[in-house]
């Protein structure tokens, strides 16, 4: 009887902690609005530092008014630099919130079409591959860019509006890959049930 009672207690404990812990039934649906249209994305729960930072900056409206300052058709579009809010285009790409985020590079998150990944300084200055505190890029190549895997943190996925990434990547630009017309963004996040996200956008959670 005592052994049976102990087993029941252990099973109850496993259902609330450790491997038995239940995942949240809700998620944040992030929307990036641009002149070319809206992109909707989810942020991965197993890259918590990047997820929490992006949501924090979104809540603070940090990204609102920043631009996609670097676009390369067939590759990616990059944004999130606070310097793009000022009138000096020469400093675009160098701004940040003055902190970095430790790398969360995972083999199950790859640079597929629409992947959301963190920009960072090069290996010579940043051997730990720490991410920029705010700059990110979206993969525009429909076949992905696997040569970036294991080198940059992928922490989200665009689940609606992939064609908008293409439109932005195709805009006229200068020799530095900076668009000749500012592509400003507004970023919002709305909590929604995972079932509804799957129903609306076809994204399936693991």
Length of the chain: 206
What is the residue-wise DSSP string for 95-161?
--SS-EE-----TT----TTEEEE----TTT-TT-PEESS-EEEE--TT--GGGTTTS-EEEEEEE-
Confidence (pLDDT) at 58: 98
The span from the first CA to the last CA of the chain, in angstroms, equals 39
Residues 7, 187: Cα–Cα separation, whole Å = 49
Confidence (pLDDT) at 2: 44
Domain covering 27-201 in this structure, CATH number = 2.40.100.10
Residues 177, 169: Cα–Cα separation, whole Å = 10
CB contact at 8 A, 76 and 138 = yes
* Cβ neighbours, 10 Å, residue 70: 22
Confidence (pLDDT) at 22: 65
Per-residue confidence in pLDDT tens, the chain, 206 aa: 444 434 434 444 444 444 444 678 999 999 999 999 999 999 999 999 999 999 999 999 999 999 999 999 999 999 999 999 998 899 998 999 999 999 999 999 999 999 999 999 999 999 999 999 999 999 999 999 999 999 999 999 999 999 999 999 999 999 999 999 999 999 999 999 999 999 999 999 98
Model pTM score: 0.88
Give me the residue label for tokens 């992947």.
Answer: 115
Token pair of 175 as six digits: 């020799």
Residues 199, 159: Cα–Cα separation, whole Å = 12
Domain positions in the chain: 27-201
Token pair of 132 as six digits: 């920029």
Confidence (pLDDT) at 180: 96
CB contact at 8 A, 38 and 32 = yes
Residues 143, 74: Cα–Cα separation, whole Å = 9
Measured torsion, CA atoms of residues 135, 140, 144, 148, in degrees rounded to the nearest 10: -30
Confidence (pLDDT) at 3: 46
């Amino acid at each position: 009887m005592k052994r049976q009672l102990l087993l029941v207690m252990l099973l109850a404990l496993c259902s609330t902690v450790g491997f038995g812990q239940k995942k949240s039934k809700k998620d944040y649906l992030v929307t990036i609005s641009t002149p070319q249209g809206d992109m909707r994305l989810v942020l991965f729960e197993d890259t918590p530092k990047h997820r929490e930072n992006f949501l924090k900056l979104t809540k603070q409206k940090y990204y609102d008014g920043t631009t996609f300052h670097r676009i390369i058709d067939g590759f990616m579009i990059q944004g999130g630099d606070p310097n793009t809010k000022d009138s000096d285009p020469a400093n675009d790409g160098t701004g940040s919130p003055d902190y970095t985020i430790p790398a969360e590079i995972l083999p199950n998150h790859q640079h597929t079409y629409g992947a959301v990944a963190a920009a960072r300084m090069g290996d010579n200055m940043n051997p730990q591959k720490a991410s920029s505190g705010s700059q990110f890029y979206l993969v525009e190549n429909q076949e992905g860019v696997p040569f970036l895997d294991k080198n940059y943190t992928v922490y989200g996925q665009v689940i609606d509006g992939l064609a908008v990434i293409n439109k932005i990547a195709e805009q006229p630009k200068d020799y530095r890959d900076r668009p000749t017309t500012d592509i400003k963004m507004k970023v919002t996040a709305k909590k929604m049930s995972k079932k509804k996200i799957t129903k609306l956008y076809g994204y399936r959670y693991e």
